[in-house]
């Protein structure tokens, strides 16, 4: 191969990351859920702390996943649960990654959500704040999913401005509660990121986009405010939507051993998690 120029697709593992992955694979191969091993648990805990520090957020608001596709779908699956008879409205843009656009389109086809796709400004490739506000509907809009940085054009979306504008809209529509998700896959490692400042409810993190391993991470604001068993009974209705102070809801997709605070069962991939933390 000549010169590699497709870093938006994937990046090579940094040598220090590869060293950590290999070291942990040799020394911390025990099941982190076992009663006899603390080392693997500590590796995962430290990696969670490292990711949280990088993004200025609470470490308890992160769970490790297989990648960005799973992280995105965990969010969308949560908002496809509806028992009110009125389809929840989800807003997204027309330039999202297929791991956002395809599952949302599928949920729409299954009549589980109503979907509004906002076209970006043709001159700049950017989603306009006003375009988002124009599509908000009281008591119906439940989720907005817009990427921060586009993988094809490099356009930077005004996520912080969108969040601020939506929160102001909510203050005038007090019975409405809109959650905001952003796929940060193309932003981490290229832009300074502060999840506390951005004010997002959900954020998708993808390791292999910034010299890390091919696993993912999902930020869920106030993740531990809702127990997994209670989350399984959560649905998109006005009476069951939690107040914002209670955190963002997340319905587990996998059930089993209760790993990742009970929200993502399956034995943890300790070496890759250590690599992401590095």
Q: What CATH code is carried by the domain that includes residue 273?
A: 3.40.640.10
In a domain, 101, yes or no: yes
221-224's contacts with Cβ under 8 Å and 24+ in sequence apart are 221/61, 221/247, 221/248, 222/61, 222/246, 222/247, 222/248, 223/60, 223/61, 223/62, 223/63, 223/247, 223/248, 223/250, 223/261, 223/263, 224/60, 224/61, 224/261
> Into how many domains does the chain fold?
1
Average per-residue pLDDT for the chain: 91
**Domain span including residue 66:** 23-29+36-277
pLDDT of 58 reads 97
Mean pLDDT score, 132-152: 96
Structural domain contains residue 265: yes
Paired tokens of 180: 């905001």
217-270 pLDDT per residue, tens: 999 999 988 777 777 776 665 444 455 667 899 999 889 999 999 999 999 999
182-217 pLDDT tens trace: 999 999 999 999 999 999 999 999 999 998 999 999
User: Is residue 17 one of the residues assigned to a domain?
Assistant: no
- Would you state the pLDDT for residue 141? 94
């Amino acid at each position: 191969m000549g010169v590699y120029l497709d870093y938006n697709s994937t990046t090579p593992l940094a040598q220090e990351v590869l060293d950590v992955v290999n070291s942990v694979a040799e020394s911390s191969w025990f099941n982190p859920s076992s009663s006899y091993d603390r080392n693997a648990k500590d590796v995962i805990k430290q990696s969670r702390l490292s990711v949280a520090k990088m993004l200025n957020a609470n470490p308890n608001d992160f769970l490790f996943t297989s990648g960005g596709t799973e992280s995105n779908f965990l969010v969308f699956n949560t908002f496809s649960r509806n028992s009110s008879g009125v389809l929840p409205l989800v807003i997204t843009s027309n330039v999202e990654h297929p791991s956002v656009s395809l599952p949302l389109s599928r949920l729409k086809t299954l009549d589980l959500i109503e979907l509004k796709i906002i076209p970006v400004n043709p001159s700049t490739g950017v989603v306009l704040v006003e375009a988002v506000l124009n599509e908000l509907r009281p008591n119906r809009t439940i989720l907005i999913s817009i990427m921060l940085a586009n993988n094809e054009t490099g356009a930077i979306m005004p996520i912080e401005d969108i969040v601020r504008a939506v929160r102001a809209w909510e203050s005038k529509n007090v019975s409405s509660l809109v959650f905001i998700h952003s796929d940060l896959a193309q932003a981490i490692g290229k832009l300074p990121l502060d999840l506390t400042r951005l004010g997002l409810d959900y954020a998708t993190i993808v390791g292999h986009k910034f010299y890390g391993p091919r696993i993912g991470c999902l930020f869920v604001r106030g993740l531990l405010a809702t127990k997994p068993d209670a989350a399984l009974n959560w649905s998109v209705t006005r009476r069951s939507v939690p107040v914002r102070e209670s955190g963002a809801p997340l319905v587990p997709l996998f059930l089993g051993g209760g790993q990742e605070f009970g929200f993502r069962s399956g034995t943890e991939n300790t070496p890759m998690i250590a690599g992401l933390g590095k």
